Structure 1
Amino acid sequence: MSAVSHIPTLTLAAARAAVEACEAKAREIRVPMNIAVVDSATHLLHFSRMDGAKFTSIGIAMDKAFTAAGHRVPTSTYKEAVWPGGAGFGIWNSNGGRFMVIGGGLPVKNESGQILGAIGVSTGTPAQDEEVARAGIEVIERMMKAESGKVKAKL
């Protein structure tokens, strides 16, 4: 039995690369976004508010990332369960009101399925927010794949 746990988490470099990719996708779809990246413990690593992004979406982006990392699933997962009578009705009141049930928050996982952090995006529609977050996830996945190849090449 070990007394210490080593939990993998995103680096600031990965968070910055993800935000750059998210910003590029947001420009492509012509919707300025608020973009938050959190680590595996749900703490903010990096944030960007693009010119023209909604001020009221700043906290929403952070809370989407918080929810996706903390609950280990996309925020869109809760879409059908949160209506009156649904299994998750009222869940948005949990975690000090930070639990977000609107699409646009995606967890970042490694090859083993461990949560490394999450990306939360807000200002567009839930589908647009998720599309922009996905661009950041894809960059991180490419970074991890490249690092994995370097480790294998050294062995």
Structure 2
Amino acid sequence: MKNVSLDDATKLVETAKNKAEEIEVPMCIAVMDAGANLVAFERMDDALLASIDIAQNKAFTSVTLKLDTQTVHEVSQPGESLYGIGGTNSGRIVTFGGGFPLTDGDTVVGAIGVSGGSVEEDIEVAEAAIDRFAEL
């Protein structure tokens, strides 16, 4: 696999949406390919409007840095190696959890970003999609 296909991205969005419905938190879910191009996106009814950009930027962050956004949070704190990174890339770098790279072996082939709940809820929903990706 060299890139996330539309078919795979659609399955990830559906899996994330099902998890969000299970925990009763409306979410925005974005899947990008390895080139940081949006492949699939869904905004559930009543999801926060701000979460549209946040979900996409979480995916952007994860695919461009090849890191999950929780790790970006940890390394972007004062005194850490990536302090200040949140102000780069025209403000698109997200420094809190909910974005994950999608990998095929050691190769990043895309990313998912989820926004709409607490950081913990966003991570939980994204991880459901990550588990599904491992099965594809």
Fold match, TM over 0.5? Answer: yes
Deviation at 1:94?
1.0
Counterpart CA distance in 2 for 1:84 and 1:115 is: 28
Deviations 1:42-66 (A, max 9, x none): 1100000000110011100000000
Instruction: Find 1:119's aligned residue among 88, 103, 112.
Output: 112
Aligned to 1:38: 32
Superposition CA RMSD, Å: 1.2
Gaps of 5+ in 1: 1-6, 144-155
Q: CA deviation at 1:71?
A: 0.9
Q: Structure 1 residue 136: deviation in Å?
A: 1.2
Q: How many residues align?
A: 136
Asked whether 1:137 is paired with 2:130, we answer: yes
Secondary structure, counterpart of 1:64 in structure 2: helix
TM-score (norm 1): 0.84
Within the candidate set 19, 22, 45, 1:51 is matched to: 45
Q: Aligned equivalents of 1:13 and 1:80: distance in 2?
A: 33
Counterpart CA distance in 2 for 1:129 and 1:23 is 11
**Counterpart residue number, 1:87:** 81
| Percent of paired sites with the same residue | 41
Partners of 2:72 and 2:99 in 1: CA distance: 11
Give the letter aligned to residue 62 of structure 2: A
Structure with higher Rg: it is: 1
SS of 2:16's equivalent? helix
Instruction: List, as ranges, runs of 4+ consecutive aligned residues in structure 1 with deviation greater than 3 Å.
Output: none
Distance 2:47 2:117 in 1: 9
